[in-house]
Amino acid sequence: MPEAMVASSASEATRGATTQQVDVAVVGAGFAGLYLLNRLRKAGFSSVLLEEAGDVGGTWYWNRYPGARCDIQTIDYAYTFDPELERAWQWSEKYATQPEILRYLGFVADRYDLRRDIRFGTKVTATTWDQAAERWWLTTDNGASVSCRYCIMATGCLSAPKPPEIDGVKDFKGEVYFTGRWPHEEIKLAGKRVAVIGTGSSGIQLIPLIAEQAAHLTVFQRTPNFALPAHNGAPPADRIALLEGDRAGYREQARMSLAGVPWPQQMAVSWQLSDAERRERFETAWAAGDLVYILTQLWADQAVDVDGNTLLADLIREKIREIVKDPETAAALTPHDHPFGAKRPCLDTNYYATYNRPNVTLVNLRQEPITGITASGIKTGKRSLDVDVIVFATGFDAMTGAIMAVHPITGRDGKSLSDVWANGPRTYLGLTVAGFPNLFMITGPGSPSVLSNMAVSIEQHVDWVADRLIAMREAGLTTIEATETAQAGWARHMADCSTLTLHRLANTWYTGANVPGKASGVMPYTGGVGPYRTICDEVVSCGMLGFRLTGPNVPEQCNDGEVVRLQPDVRLVLNMLAEMNLPPIESMGAQGARDFVAEFNKSRPAGRPVGEVVDGTLPGADGPLPYRLYRPATPGPHPIVVYFHGGGWVLGDEQSDDPFCRDMCRRTGMSFVSVGYRHAPEHRFPAAAEDGYAATRWIAEHAAEIGGKPGPLMVAGWSAGGNIAAVTCQLARDRGGPAISGQLLVCPVTDCGFDRPSYTDNATGYFLTRSLMYWFWDIYCSPADRTDPRVSPLRGKLENLPPALVATCEFDPLRDEGVAYAEALSAAGAPVEQLKARGHFHSSLTMVDVVITGVAARVQMADALCRFAGLPPERKEGDEGVRPRSDSLAA
Ligand code: NA7
């Protein structure tokens, strides 16, 4: 360390230490720390990198157990910031070994002469924010403390090994090793009796190699994991050709992808594929030996829907049974307690086949838990096993462990990070924490990190942070801190994202469940690296949204707010629509708009299978109307829901809300009859209302004929269809039936007034615009008729109407009139449940397989329909964690 970089100051003297003064201190010399140091140095910041280990490498320095490899293909698991560096290094294998990755990181450190600013063998013991000096002060266990303007934790997500939590480890007289702290010297296992505890990625990589050496290997497995053959070998020629054909394009695709590896978005859903097609896709994936491929490329619903996931998990389970000869061992190795991908799946080489060896025994800890470790071996509930060596492959205190290992981290007003995170990590973007100015984390909790190719996520974070520091320096700003509002908004967005995938359904290190006493919740960002990147960029383009910035000679800046208020999938849909740059629907003319909607609907995923779909006609108010009946697969007769589609009384037909009708039919076990009522301009007011009533009456009278349960039925509708459903209830009351036991009104039109705040707040930008609503009204109904309750049910008599569920969406011009109708119905004595879908737009709840976060709302709607029909609520596997919570749906 150059002498010039060591200074003493009065305040530091009082701390009794020599202090190194730098602009930026970085903690950790892994992938993230090395790139940071390079960028910071190039940008002219004085920096020091503090590293506990004796050399660079981070997780790859410590995890040197036999078989340790990356499980993202190496051509993707590498730096991309310098094309020259990419050309200068050739990987020898598809999945490089730990020694090769460590050599690569050493090569990078040398190439950019990074070691001269790294203090090895130096553990950061604590860090404190000095408010007066606006600097962090870091104490270390070796040499000078550090005073810096910015402190960046590049400590890694999987670098703090978890204690084994098993009694008696100290009593054991044999050798003990931890995969996460493997010795540097060669360990000789030949002729020894070895125990391995743990079957995560580390155990699964290590076990086959130990089995080849040891006299006997006993594997202690608590939870079986899914593992896929890596088919390692030379880097695949097709991927190399793709990369070399267009290096920049390839890297950009990775950056904008979901997982940080450039595979396309899969569109086909499982139920569109035959068994044979699914099996063919699966066999291709099994042969490909690529985790990201099998996690993303088979069918679109595999990661988001329990049914789609089970189809894939069953195929993997079949493979395990094929490979492992002893059926009892095969059964013990087969995972059943989590969806595939919800717990980190593993890549293996001969893992399952290892259990066919005579010198390998599997101990199923679910049947005989470890009771303790003795001087000679391991005791379970059923037996004692003497061993010479115990290997703990028991994992890490992931994501937060290495950050919290610097203890305490004391921020503004003396607050300690461990207190602030006592109930789980809270961050803004996974990069910063409110109350901890000028402290950054690379791939911290709340960022995509471990759910992505870490190399891509690290580069994005490092670039984002370095660019901010440069911009702050240029603007004369010296502190940056996330606001509480922004951080709370990010927590909400994280929770919204976690309903998108199945990670919430497994107890894993993603959720903190592997560490006793750790607060539980999905820690990585599940919304994908591409969307995450655009959000980080949006924060900047919105004037550092959610950050407070100060400087000595400039006014404080704080553009406070939440960066994502839309549900994550709604955001994607709206961005996609915006990119299409469509002309306004109202400019297309009625027929043009109908053609457009028909074309648009073709691109939607097909709806899910139901028992039967029957098309027919029924008499409307003035001639026959088409209908489509969705019947559940269960034996009938079923309660009937008469359904009216959306489309502003102008667009759509009895098939246009097909995915929604199928979903609700499956969830409720009820028959849905979607009615093709007449449309304007050919048939103006009150045609649609009168058709709705006539159709409901006919269906009630012919319920048995169409396989329905006679007696009261229910009505439902979305948008203009919600309007027709509401009107039908009023007409049925006034015209002597039919009996209606409940009404489900989804974003209904209820009034002809356009002056409620939702009409102004959401006038543009959320697909259903104010001007489109004006157009619908003009086509359907002349101004003189608009106060008629048959089109403005809010203006009608509201007494003696059936119970209702009224669903409204936050970003919808129709929101407030829906709420007004619910309140008015309730005031008139009807039992009313309101569902206020936060972060959703007008079409959200009916776009079943596109807007997945609408599932909680659909569960609530299905429950309401069951209640109206006097049935218990339906339960569908996979709805766990998405049932409405008071905070999840409230606007
Ligand atoms: P993991 O994936 O956390 O695996 C740890 C394994 O150890 C797992 O099978 C655990 O069972 C088991 N374990 C943990 N504690 C115990 C105790 N007390 N008794 C018995 N078994 C135990 O860590 P890895 O190092 O394999 O992999 C971490 C990541 O590194 C990996 O996902 C890649 O991203 C790279 P459990 O499942 O908790 O029942």
pLDDT tens track for 285-314: 999 999 999 999 999 999 999 999 999 999
Task: Describe the crossing of helices 484-498 and 568-580 by its angle, rounded to 10 degrees.
Answer: 90
- Which atom of ligand 1 lies at the shortest distance from residue 204's CA? 26
**What's the pLDDT tens digit per position in 344-394?**
999 999 999 999 999 999 999 999 999 999 999 999 999 999 999 999 999
What angle separates helix 529-541 from helix 247-256, to the nearest 10 degrees? 90
For ligand 1, atom 10, the nearest C-alpha belongs to 198
Minimum-distance ligand 1 atom for the alpha carbon of 202: 26
pLDDT at 265: 85
Ligand 1 pocket test, candidate residues 394, 453, 518, most atoms within 8 A of CB: 394
- Ligand 1 center from residue 647 Cα (angstroms): 52
Asked whether the predicted pLDDT for residue 876 surpasses 80, the reply is: no
Displacement of CA 354 from its chain's centroid (Å) = 34
**Strands of 384-386's sheet in order across:** 370-373, 377-380, 384-386
Contacts from 432-435 at CB under 8 Å and sequence distance 24+? 432/480, 432/481, 432/482, 432/547, 433/482, 433/487, 434/481, 434/482, 434/483, 434/484, 434/486, 434/487, 435/411, 435/481
Please identify, by atom number, the ligand 1 atom nearest to the C-alpha of residue 223. 39
Contacts of 832 (CB under 8 A, 6+ apart): 803, 804, 805, 806, 822, 823, 825, 826
Distance 86 CA to ligand 1 centre (A): 33
Cα 347 to ligand 1 centre (Å): 14
The mean pLDDT value for 161-177 works out to 94
- Exposed/middle/buried for 367, CB within 10 Å: 0-12, 13-18, 19+? exposed
Please tell me what DSSP assigns to residue 44. T
- Neighbouring C-beta atoms of residue 550, cutoff 10 Å: 18
Q: What number is the average pLDDT over the span 221-250? A: 96
Measured between alpha carbons, how far apart are the two ends of the chain, in Å?
A: 56
pLDDT of residue 880: 55
Indicate which atom in ligand 1 lies nearest the CA of residue 198.
7
- Mean pLDDT computed over 779-793: 98
Output DSSP code: residue 477: -
What's the gap in Å between 177 CA and the centre of ligand 1? Answer: 15
Taking alpha carbons only, the member of 703, 728, 701, 724 closest to residue 640 is 703
Burial 598-623 (b: 16+ CB within 10 A, else e): eeeeeeebebbebbebeeeebebbee
Q: Which two tokens stand for residue 474?
A: 């240029």
- Spatial contact of 879 and 499, defined as CB atoms under 8 Å apart: no
The alpha carbon of 204 and the centre of ligand 1 are apart by a number of angstroms equal to 10
Residue nearest to atom 33 of ligand 1 (CA): 201
The atom of ligand 1 lying closest to the CA of 165 is: 18
Question: Distance, CA 158 to ligand 1 centroid (Å)?
Answer: 11
Distance 530 CA to ligand 1 centre (A): 29
Atom nearest to 365 CA in ligand 1: 20
Q: Which of 202, 366, 392, 452 to mutate to test the pocket of ligand 1 (most atoms within 8 A of CB)?
A: 202
- Measured by CA distance, the residue closest to atom 31 of ligand 1 is 201
Residue nearest to atom 29 of ligand 1 (CA): 201
- Give percent above pLDDT 70 in the chain: 96
> What spacing in Å lies between the alpha carbon of 221 and ligand 1's midpoint?
9
Question: Taking the CB of residue 595, how many other CB atoms lie within 10 A of it?
Answer: 13
Neighbours of 165 (CB within 10 A): 11
Closest alpha carbon to 780 in 664, 685, 660 = 685
- Cβ contacts of 290 within 8 Å, gap of 6 or more: 73
Instruction: Answer yes or no: is pLDDT of 207 > 60.
Output: yes
In the predicted structure, residue 17 carries a pLDDT above the cut 90: no
Which atom in ligand 1 lies closest to the alpha carbon of residue 395?
A: 23
Ligand 1 geometric centre to CA of 199 (Å): 6
User: pLDDT tens digit string along 390-415?
Assistant: 999 999 999 999 999 999 999 999 99
C-alpha 200 – ligand 1 centre gap (Å): 4
| Protein residue with its CA nearest to atom 27 in ligand 1 | 201
In this prediction, residues 606-624 reach a mean pLDDT of 95
Mean pLDDT over 609-630 rounds to: 97
Tens-place pLDDT, residues 508-562: 999 999 999 999 999 999 999 999 999 999 999 999 999 999 999 999 999 999 9
Determine the distance separating the centroid of ligand 1 and the alpha carbon of 514, expressed in angstroms. Answer: 7
Which atom from ligand 1 is nearest to the alpha carbon of 513? 38
Would you state the pLDDT for residue 877?
54
Q: 197 alpha carbon to ligand 1 midpoint, in Å?
A: 9
- Measure 527 CA to ligand 1 centroid, in angstroms: 24
Compute the distance from residue 331 Cα to the ligand 1 centre, in Å: 19
Atom number, ligand 1, closest to the C-alpha of residue 222: 39
In a mutational test of the pocket of ligand 1, which residue from 31, 63, 98, 201 has the highest number of ligand atoms less than 8 Å from its CB?
201
Residue of 226, 514, 518 to test ligand 1 pocket, by largest number of atoms within 8 Å of CB: 514
Residue 823 CB contacts under 8 Å (≥ 6 apart), including other chains: 832
When pLDDT is cut at 50, 70 and 90, the band that residue 887 belongs to is very low
CA 508 to ligand 1 center in whole angstroms: 9
Give 163 or 615, the one with higher predicted confidence. 615
- Indicate which atom in ligand 1 lies nearest the CA of residue 450: 34
The four Cα atoms 614, 617, 618, 621 give a dihedral, to 10 degrees, of: 140
Residue that wins the pLDDT comparison between 207 and 601: 207
- Determine the Cα–Cα distance for residues 678 and 682; give it in Å rounded to an integer: 8
Phi-psi region of 546 (alpha: psi -120 to 50; beta: other; left: phi over 0): left
Name the pLDDT band for 2 (thresholds 50, 70, 90).
Answer: very low
H-helix or E-strand spanning residue 208: helix 201-213
Output the residue whose Cα is nearest ligand 1's atom 28: 395
Task: List the one residue out of 392, 404, 400 whose CA is nearest residue 509.
Answer: 400
Query: Which amino acid, 168?
Result: G
Residue 27 CA to ligand 1 center (angstroms) comes to 25
Which of 31, 59, 98, 222 for mutating ligand 1's site (highest number of atoms within 8 Å of CB)?
Answer: 222
| 131 SS3 class | coil
Rounded to the nearest whole angstrom, what is the distance from the C-alpha of residue 293 to the centroid of ligand 1? 23
Per residue in 147-157, pLDDT (tens digit) is: 999 999 999 99
Report residues whose beta carbon is within 6 angstroms of any ligand 1 atom. 158, 164-166, 179, 197-203, 220, 222-223, 344, 365, 370, 393-396, 509, 514
CA of 341 to the centre of ligand 1 (A): 15
Ligand 1 atom at minimal distance to the Cα of residue 201: 26
- How remote is the CA of residue 203 from the centroid of ligand 1, in Å? 8
CA of 344 relative to ligand 1 center, distance in Å: 10
How remote is the CA of residue 198 from the centroid of ligand 1, in Å?
Answer: 5
> Is there a contact between 363 and 130 (Cβ–Cβ < 8 Å)?
no
- Residue nearest atom 35 of ligand 1, based on CA coordinates: 201
Ligand 1 atom closest to the CA of 199, numbered from 1: 9
**Tens digit of pLDDT for each residue in 681-716?**
999 999 999 999 999 999 999 999 999 999 999 999
Measured in Å, residue 72 CA sits from the centre of ligand 1 at 19
Q: Which atom of ligand 1 is the closest one to the Cα of 509?
A: 3
The answer to whether the beta carbons of residues 845 and 747 sit under 8 Å apart is yes
| Rounded Cα gap, residues 190 and 212, in angstroms | 9
CA-nearest residue, atom 6 of ligand 1:
198
Residue nearest to atom 12 of ligand 1 (CA): 198
Longest Cα–Cα distance of the chain, Å, equals 95
Q: Is the pLDDT of residue 496 over 80?
A: yes
Radius of gyration of the chain measured on its C-alpha atoms: 31
Among 110-124, 211-225, 845-859, the minimum mean pLDDT is found in 845-859
Average of per-residue pLDDT across 125-153: 97
**Counting Cβ atoms within 10 Å, is residue 705 exposed (0-12), middle (13-18) or buried (19+)?**
exposed
Using CA atoms, how far residue 348 sits from 34, 336, 763, in Å, is 29, 19, 54
**What was the pLDDT predicted at 605?**
75
For ligand 1, the distance from its centroid to the CA atom of residue 445, given in whole angstroms, is 19
